[in-house]
Amino acid sequence: MNLGDILSLETILPDMTAANRWEAIDELIQQLVKANRIQPQHREAIVAVVKKRESSMSTGIGFGIGIPHASTDLIQEVVGALGRSKKGIEFEALDNQMVSLVVLFLVPQGQFQKHLHTLASIARLLHDKEFRQELEQAPDAAAMFEIIKKYCAPK
């Protein structure tokens, strides 16, 4: 699975307000609730599982990227949200830099291989400097989604 498979226009947040990684997780999970990808009654349990995973080690992987993720039995398919922060988010990243792009994704419990492949695919794409620059300069969610579809299209 790649970013184009798990995102939709409704799960892209071009102007995040979060100041730190915990607020970013809350904000992106709320976006998944708004987009009907997570049931409202499961919100708090999902926030808890993502924050528990994030507590063990920051998913701020450098280059202004954060990829919080977790497995849960509260979803049936892989879901994700993308957020962009113009001011930067304190993420305790490996390179100690602020994060401007955050991809949060959830994988159904027990799908370990899918979890690893999805994480690897997202990380590989976000390590592309041109891709990150295009996302950071895009005017809105629709433009961001078009960029993602372009980069995720089969070559």
Catalytic residues: 69
Residue type, 5: D
Rounded-to-integer distance, Cα 126 and Cα 137, Å: 15
- As a three-state string, the secondary structure of 87-104 is EEEECCCCCCCCEEEEEE
Q: What is the bridge-based pairing of β-strands 60-62 and 79-89?
A: unpaired
Count of CB atoms situated within 10 Å of the CB of 135: 20
